[in-house]
Structure 1
């Protein structure tokens, strides 16, 4: 089926929808879409794909919504770094930062928590024992 190009002259004489027509509008139900698809196939003798539009994402490509609380200075830093890196909003920068940190192995040591790059001497200290104990919730009796 060949697509036709629409010109401005083709749609000039179509009146705009009135407020009443817009209120009467509704979404087409999936059953109706399927019936329309079958009718087109029958009329044209050409099979139509069962679904039009953007294909669904693979589960590994979907993002998981999270909610977290963080001190304002961390939030300010994330926003500033995202702006400096030119990657958009802080969520994008945080995802890139965490993805980069996934290469490291988390190690709990007596002086705190460190990240170690496998097969390397590269180490990042992310928290001292003092900051870990302050951030931990109090233990219940």
Structure 2
């Protein structure tokens, strides 16, 4: 499973102009399931992200986690995180999990994160979404469970 996390002041996802998910201070998490992933992988990733110390403490050091700050998360499915750009100029996406499996794992990841305590909203799997955010820092971190 792959995730691109961004520390945000706010983030929202819109479909046809309607806000379907949003959060204030916290994390925007773009997530992609790959073949071989299961719920346990998603739970491990959710725990890692929830405990990742990327929020500033009183001294201005990144020493606090989402769970420490009471922040929220907006989780958006993003199959393009599986892009293969090694050949030619058109990315291939065969490294992403099949849609039905990816949707199931995406939902399981969001539920696992919510079970840890933060408020979690989501986009809509497979939809043409418009994502807006105010990146705080900026802080943007890539996590791949195969290497994490």
Q: Same fold (TM over 0.5)?
A: no
Category of TM-score, reference length = shorter chain: under 0.3
TM-score by length of 1: 0.20
Higher relative contact order (CA 8 A, sep 6+): 2
TM-score by length of 2: 0.20
Pick the structure with greater CA Rg: 1
Higher helix share: 1
